[in-house]
Amino acid sequence: MIYNSKNTDLKFVDGVGFLQFPILGRLDFINHAFSTRVGGVSDGAYKSMNLNFKRGDDPEKVMENYRIFCKAAGFDFDSLVSSSQDHNTFVRCVTKADRGIGITRPHDIESVDALVTNEPGVTLVTHYADCTPIFLADPEKKVIALAHAGWRGTVSKIGEITVEKMVSEYGCDPTDIIAVIGPAIGQCCYEVDTPVYEEFACLTELKPAYFTQMLGHGKYLVDLKETNRRMLLEAGLLSINIMISDVCTKCNSGLLYSHRASGGQRGGLVAMMCINNE
């Protein structure tokens, strides 16, 4: 396993690996982490820290992985609230009453690709294996959000919609929001065909030449991270407050699950973030 990043920290606690981002680490009101494959009890294609119940792994092993990961990364296992992703743009505001959903309680809504809260002791959980995680934190209003942006969610502006929810529901000012566009498949590895490329090419206000590249023969490279960065700028965030992780999940498939690298035979990663109890 080779890991080389200039802006994303790899940490190990009790043999469990996770990633953190310095721009969020400076915010003392939150805890955050992005999981890796390292430190769990799953085996085979799921080795070892699989945190996705829907991939065919033993549910008891996945549950134990959550317990292990939470202990290592500093989250309360009983505080977790999971998304229920289907590549759409529904943003759910959650409270302590929702703790356990998707982990120890069944999902009660089947289309949730972003979560927002302003309550301490509620840990947001979203799921990945190449798609783009978007971490959002407002240190003024003490509001946090996580959004899952695959290519469909990206072109449907899930990041911008999540910021709008923070503004409308909690009174956030976009210029106060700190954002991390986390580990995801990079433009180096994200090859798409013409129909997908055309979805990105339609985002003319974002200047697609900056996040698409023609390869020829109906193939293109797309930069999901840069597309989402430009959308956050459109939503009113300041460039200085947006960090893009330089970690590509496919290039680092020994450390991180990658759907493309594994041909779909894989476990799942999570992003977690919570407001600390005072």
Alpha carbon of residue 198 to chain centroid: 24
**What CA–CA distance (Å, rounded) separates 177 from 236?**
9
Confidence category of residue 113, pLDDT binned at 50, 70, 90: very high
Q: Are strands 91-93 and 114-117 parallel, antiparallel or unpaired?
A: parallel
Can you list the domains of the chain with their CATH numbers? 9-186+236-275 (3.60.140.10)
Q: Quote the pTM value.
A: 0.98
Average pLDDT over residues 246-262: 98
- Using only C-alpha atoms, what is the Rg of the chain? 17
Q: Which residue has the tokens 């106060």?
A: 176
pLDDT for the residue 81: 98
pLDDT for the residue 123: 98
For 243, list phi and psi in degrees, rounded to 5: -115, 135
Provide the mean pLDDT of the chain: 97
Percent of the chain residues past pLDDT 90, beyond the cut: 97
Answer for the pair 210, 233: CB distance below 8 angstroms, yes or no: no
Q: Which residue has the tokens 């909690």?
A: 170
pLDDT for the residue 1: 66
pLDDT digits (tens, 9 = 90+) for 37-56: 999 999 999 999 999 999 99
- Residue 151, pLDDT > 90, answer yes
pLDDT for the residue 278: 76
**What CA–CA distance (Å, rounded) separates 83 from 26?**
26
Going from the C-alpha of 48 to that of each of 40, 256, 272, the distances in angstroms are: 5, 10, 18
Q: Is 202 exposed, middle or buried (0-12, 13-18, 19+ CB in 10 A)?
A: exposed
Answer for the pair 18, 72: CB distance below 8 angstroms, yes or no: yes
Alpha helices in the chain (DSSP H): 22-25, 59-73, 151-155, 158-170, 194-201, 224-234, 259-262
- Residue 2, pLDDT > 90, answer no
Answer for the pair 208, 230: CB distance below 8 angstroms, yes or no: no
